[in-house]
């Protein structure tokens, strides 16, 4: 077993253990392997090890790797500018990082041109850090109401980036709050969007995120190494 395959298997075990703690089915958690700065050979090794969900932060890298591996599920997880949305729409299995109503509308416009319905997540700045992108929690209901009128965007749930800390326990509250926000939005029943996805947790804290309800974790270094 190669190094990437071994690390991927270790991540899967950690996800399974965390799901067991929470009384969840590990199959309900999708591992997205983040390929930022990762080369083609490493992606090929991850595919050989059974990984088929990959995440990219930058549009140019996303488009290039999607072209090389079109049969895999490519997630766009980085900051997306409205004027570059055209390059991502229709290629992305899921856009995780929708952080404004302006971007929602741009995605809808390009999806209409491409004759697709683009699944997205709303990015939430749970921690309130100025350096983080995303909707404030109290802006989410209005964002959903805006999305309700867009026929070519499907909001699947929420995403957040927790503060970078050494111990995942220190940001558990962020994941719990995102789950609570999703539950409150589900209760509002705004539009017909099926809000089921919670994209949260990275290499340092994905176990805590799974325990708190993550359905998607975004893991790079723990799979591909430093």
| Other beta carbons less than 10 A from residue 81's beta carbon | 10
Domains and CATH numbers, the chain: 3-224 (3.20.20.10)
Q: Report the chain (226 residues): mean pLDDT per 10 consecutive residues.
A: 95 98 97 96 97 98 98 97 96 97 98 97 88 90 94 97 80 96 94 90 96 98 92
If phi > 0 it is left, if psi is from -120 to 50 it is alpha, else beta; for residue 213 that is left
Q: How many CB atoms lie within 10 A of CB 209?
A: 31
How much is the pTM? 0.96
Closest CA to 218 of 202, 207, 198, 194: 202
Identify the pLDDT of residue 12.
98
* CA atoms within 13 Å, Cβ hemisphere of 84: 15
Q: Is the dihedral of CA 193, 132, 64, 105 positive or negative?
A: positive
């Amino acid at each position: 077993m190669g190094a990437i395959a071994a690390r991927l298997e270790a991540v899967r075990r950690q996800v399974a253990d965390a799901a067991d703690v929470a009384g969840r089915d590990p199959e309900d958690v999708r591992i997205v392997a983040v390929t930022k700065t990762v080369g083609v050979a490493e992606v090929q090794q991850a595919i050989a090890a059974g990984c088929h969900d990959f995440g990219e932060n930058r549009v140019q890298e996303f488009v290039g790797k999607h072209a090389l591996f079109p049969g895999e599920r490519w997630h766009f997880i980085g900051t997306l500018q409205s004027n570059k949305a055209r390059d991502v729409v229709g290629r992305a299995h899921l856009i995780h990082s929708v952080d404004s109503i302006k971007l929602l509308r741009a995605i809808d416009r390009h999806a209409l041109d491409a004759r697709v319905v683009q699944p997205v997540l709303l990015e939430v700045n749970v921690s309130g850090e100025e350096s983080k992108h995303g909707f404030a929690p109290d802006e989410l209901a209005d964002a959903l109401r805006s999305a309700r009128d867009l026929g070519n965007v499907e909001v699947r749930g929420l995403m957040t980036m927790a503060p970078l800390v050494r111990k995942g326990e220190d940001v558990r509250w962020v994941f719990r709050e995102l789950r609570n926000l999703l539950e409150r939005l589900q209760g509002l029943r705004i539009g017909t969007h099926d809000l089921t996805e919670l994209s949260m947790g990275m290499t340092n804290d994905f176990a805590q995120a799974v325990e708190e309800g993550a359905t998607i974790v975004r893991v790079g270094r723990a799979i591909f190494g430093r």
